[in-house]
Structure 1
Amino acid sequence: MSFRTPNPLSSRHLNKAKLPPPDETGQEAQYLKALGEKQTPVAIKLLDGEVVRGWIEYYDQRMIRLTRDGQPNLFIFKHDIMYVSEDTGRRR
């Protein structure tokens, strides 16, 4: 039995170093699909601070189509979105 402390520079310890988290988890498409299939009301906050509400009818790699009642539908580029959340009906 060895009582020596392990050498942190040994190759065995370098391989166990934590890797940074991935940039993409693959969960975005599944989440948007679930929201669209259920026609879940969502609030989308844009980078300029505007909040738009509706439900996601279509999405692809670059944009989301937001369908709204009584207002024109919107195609929103994903790079203009700060976040998407389920709309609970509460207004801030």
Structure 2
Amino acid sequence: MTMNRRLIRPNLAEIREKENREAAKRKIQPPYDTHAENYYYLKQMNKKTRMAVVFTDGQVVEGFVEWYDRHCFKLNREGAPNLLVYKTNIKYLHKIEDAKDEDEDKKNP
């Protein structure tokens, strides 16, 4: 007694289509870096804006950003040594308004 055995093989085209449909359904993650931080540092570097850096322990240091990296930046200070500041230790940054600007604001309310 002879039996005809038929080889059952999946259609490869169907498998590829299924993979493509599943890949299209996956949600694409947003980019990790928005480049807003880079733009901000470049803007402050070009203008040599005086910045105040407030550390997580409450210490405040003033100077201007000379260069920056992904993890740190160099703060150039007048009359004091320059600092390499790690971004993980920063609570926040803000611009220091010049005394001239403050005087003009007081005169022109």
TM over 0.5: yes
**Which residue of 2 is the match for residue 71 of structure 1?**
80
Unaligned stretches of 5+ residues in structure 1: 1-20
What number of residue pairs does the alignment pair up? 70
Alpha-carbon RMSD across the aligned residues, in angstroms, is 1.9
Q: Structure 1's 22 and 88: CA in aligned 2 closer, same or farther, altered over 3 A?
A: farther
Unaligned stretches of 5+ residues in structure 2: 1-29, 100-109
Partner amino acid, structure 2, of 1:79: T
> Could you list the runs of 4 or more consecutive aligned residues of structure 1 that deviate by over 4 angstroms after TM superposition?
21-24
**Which residue of 1 is the match for residue 36 of structure 2?**
27
**Cα offsets for 1:19-42 (capped at 9, x unmatched):** xx9764320010001001110000
**TM value normalised by structure 2:** 0.59
**Which residue of 1 is the match for residue 50 of structure 2?**
41
**Cα offsets for 1:4-59 (capped at 9, x unmatched):** xxxxxxxxxxxxxxxxx976432001000100111000001000100100000010
Decide which of 57, 64, 68 is 1:59's aligned counterpart: 68
**TM value normalised by structure 1:** 0.69
Report SS of the residue matched to 1:32.
Answer: helix
Question: Going by fraction, where is helix more abundant, 1 or 2?
Answer: 2
Identity over aligned pairs, percent? 36
